Amino acid sequence: MPIIHKLVEIETSPGINIHNITSQVQDFITSTSIKNGQVLVFSRHTTTALAINENEVRLLEDIKVFLQKLAPESEHYLHNDLHLRDVPEDEPINAHSHLMAMMLTTSEVIPIVDGKLALGTWQSILFFELDGSRKRSVFLQIYGE
């Protein structure tokens, strides 16, 4: 069975933002000969994450508020004591972003059936930027026949 991979590039905005990448994943599947199998969607950064959930504007705002309550930017975090660490000059103050990412996940595996993502009616693949703005990449890997 073939294994095919691709990187998807995402330009993010400042702060927490959520990108629906379902169509990019489906487009990749469509561009291959794979009809049945699985696709791995993997976030390649420590301050980003993935989730499968509903892509509804008010829910996305609720998620942002929820994450900010879990790891408020205003709290003191040891990771932010940059003067005590060997870091590049442009190192951001971002411990809260790392902690938010830990509450989500770095990967999702989704079945492919008849060349389509086997997602439920309201499910979308959501990419979370927790420390924007940046150029990010998501690794996609398809396995199947």
CA–CA dist 39, 81 (Å, integer)? 39
For residue 36, which of 111, 105, 122 has the smallest C-alpha distance? 111
Both structure tokens of 42: 């993997």
Q: 3-state SS of 88-144? A: CCCCCCCHHHHHHHHHCECEEEEEEECCEECCCCCCEEEEEEEEECCEEEEEEEEEE
Indicate if the pLDDT at residue 22 is higher than 90.
Answer: yes
For residue 113, the model assigns a pLDDT of: 98
**Structure tokens that stand for 2 in this block:** 């073939």
The CATH number assigned to the domain with range 3-144 reads 2.60.120.460
Give the C-alpha separation, 107 to 109, whole Å: 7
Burial of 80 (0-12, 13-18, 19+ CB in 10 A): middle
- What would the pLDDT profile of 58-111 be if each residue is shown by its tens digit? 999 999 999 999 999 999 999 999 999 999 999 999 999 999 999 999 999 999
Asked whether the whole model's pTM tops 0.85, one would answer yes
